[in-house]
Amino acid sequence: MRTHVIARKTHKWIGLFVGLQVVVWSLSGLYMTIVHIDTIHGDHLIRVASIPGVHANALRDPLALAAQEKASSIRLAWVDERPIYVTEGPSGERAFGATSATRLDPPNEQAIRALASSYYTGSESIASVELFTDVPGEIRGRTPPLWRVEFDHWNSPTFYLSPVTGELLSRRHELWRVFDFVWMLHIMDYDERENVNNSLLRVFTWGAVLMALSGIWLLFHAFPKRKKKGRSTL
């Protein structure tokens, strides 16, 4: 079989195998290029918090509180412009006033609404508030339960808040959800959407390389060869 026939058949069959995925790579890459990553992260949705200062002498001893709670860790956080301690122990997270060391009750729905509105840069009202016991796929890795607050906006800004402290843990919106979907298509990890070195992606990547090489091979046969002129005789 002549080489240009082999090149044509190779390019055709490999193109049928990986061609659709190449189109998906192009379109998904275009979306991820057009929409700025800061927009995807939702930085524009979050109001920069003003944290008032507090004198160190006004804070209770965190080590003593951690020992009292038998906590494995303790951290200082700011919620609603007041300092709190958050301990991690056998019973999970607990919140305490940093200046009084008194246990703080978990925020109720009304408090969650107020906190979510204080974090949000927009003026839209809250569309829904729900306490999730099963973490949705879009915030994989978080430990339930979580408060989910969605605002009434075309982009559906959604905040996830801690049920212990009311801290903002994560945010999502429609442009991010589209990004997450096209990212899944781009890396071909249809389960966890994280593995950029999976077997399926490697197979199709090498297929695309072979398609390009066969196309280059075919290109050499696309131009007619010039015939050498014979020597003129006297």
**Same-domain check for residues 70 and 133:** yes
Domains contained in the chain, number: 2
Q: Is residue 227 part of a domain?
A: no
d(CA 154, CA 199): 37
Q: Is residue 234 part of a domain?
A: no
**Same-domain check for residues 211 and 106:** no
**Same-domain check for residues 160 and 62:** yes
**Same-domain check for residues 58 and 127:** yes
**Same-domain check for residues 24 and 87:** no
CB 156 within 8 A of CB 138: no
Instruction: Please report the sign of the dihedral spanned by the C-alpha atoms of residue 8, residue 13, residue 14, residue 19.
Output: positive
For residue 234, pLDDT over 50 is answered with no
Which pLDDT belongs to residue 220?
Answer: 73
Q: Is residue 58 part of a domain?
A: yes
Q: What is the pLDDT of residues 94-149, one digit of tens each?
A: 999 999 999 999 999 999 999 999 999 999 999 999 999 988 889 888 889 999 99
**Same-domain check for residues 31 and 70:** no
Listed in sequence order, the residues at least 6 apart from 136 whose beta carbon sits closer than 8 Å to its beta carbon are 148
Give the three-class secondary structure for 6: helix
Q: Is residue 230 part of a domain?
A: no
**Same-domain check for residues 82 and 168:** yes
Choosing from 153, 172, 191, the residue where a domain stops is 172
**Same-domain check for residues 137 and 204:** no
Q: Is residue 96 part of a domain?
A: yes
Which pLDDT belongs to residue 4?
Answer: 66
Amino acid identity of residue 105, one-letter, is D
Q: What is the pLDDT of residues 2-47, one digit of tens each?
A: 666 776 777 777 787 888 888 999 999 999 999 999 999 999 999 9
**Same-domain check for residues 156 and 199:** no
Task: Work out the pLDDT band at 226, boundaries 50, 70, 90.
Answer: low
d(CA 189, CA 135): 20
* Cis, bond preceding 136 (omega within 30 deg of 0): no
**Same-domain check for residues 87 and 149:** yes
Quote the pTM value: 0.83
CB 16 within 8 A of CB 204: no
**Same-domain check for residues 32 and 136:** no
Q: Is residue 228 part of a domain?
A: no
Secondary structure letter of residue 151 according to DSSP? E
% of the chain surpassing 70 pLDDT: 92
Dihedral, 211, 217, 221, 226 alpha carbons, nearest 10: 150
Which pLDDT belongs to residue 228?
Answer: 57
For 72, the domain range is: 43-172
**Same-domain check for residues 163 and 104:** yes
Q: Is residue 232 part of a domain?
A: no
